[in-house]
Amino acid sequence: MNRRALVTGAAGGIAAGIAPGLARDGFSFIAITYRSTPPDATLDAIRAAGSVASAARVDFLDQAADVQAALEGLVAAHGPFDTVVHAVGPIVVKRFERMTLEEYREVIDGNLRSAVLTARATLPAMREAGFGRIVFFAMVGSSETRPFRGFTLYAAAKSGLVAFARSLALEEAGKGITVNVVAPGDIRDKSLDRARALQRAARNPRGRAGSYEDVTDAVRFLVASQRDFVTGAVIEVTGGLQTAGE
């Protein structure tokens, strides 16, 4: 099967490690989006892993029509994509009393609206092919609306994203499309690999830092072609972290 993936926000952060991981799994083509961080390092890593790669600038905080046009242009130029890993998700950690309306727009549009627009642009081709894999990103506790101080809007956006993903999973399951969510824990260093993470202590039950490879493993599991019976799931990659105090 000639697999083609779109990984959003992959110029940096955890997604910069996920995209080459998909290349190592045999995806023939991987497109990434970026906003301001240069994408060259990620493109080089994808190509070194054996896939053809391309990058397109998409600012998910632009007007909805502009974002939709950019995504549809990307699909037309480099699709169709059978796999989408939507990793865009700006975070603002601040008590609600100090939040601004601009920060509200950044967090809600950047996390929830961006997922909706990405799904709208990529699902038609998946439906036509009768196959698709979509992975969104939440935060620990999103599926239970677990509260954390300072995360009022971010937690709300991520819980809304989980509700969207699970409902979408029900609607698309009969078309061979799965929709799942990965919820990473407190991974401070997004470029940390597992070997170095094993040497670094962290305040979670496992006792070591998380790595992009830990998250990549969950994504790889969910997007595998044979994984058609897992949909609407939320996989927490947290080292056992359950609350902000652990």
Nearest to 133 by CA among 50, 22, 41, 59: 22
154 belongs to the catalytic site:
yes
Distance CA 71, CA 67 (A): 6
Nearest to 139 by CA among 199, 210, 73, 58: 210
Distance CA 33, CA 23 (A): 16
Distance CA 3, CA 133 (A): 11
Give the Cα-Cα-Cα angle 109, 176, 51 (nearest 5 degrees).
70
Three-state SS string over 63-130 comes to CHHHHHHHHHHHHHHHCCCCEEEECCCCCCCCCHHHCCHHHHHHHHHHHHHHHHHHHHHHHHHHHHHC
Evaluate the CA torsion angle 192, 195, 199, 203 in order and state its sign.
positive
Choosing from 34, 104, 154, 212, the catalytic residue is: 154
Reduced to 3 states (helix: H, G, I; strand: E, B; else coil), residue 220 is helix
Reduced to 3 states (helix: H, G, I; strand: E, B; else coil), residue 132 is strand
Nearest to 81 by CA among 29, 20, 45: 29
Q: List residues with catalytic annotation.
A: 154
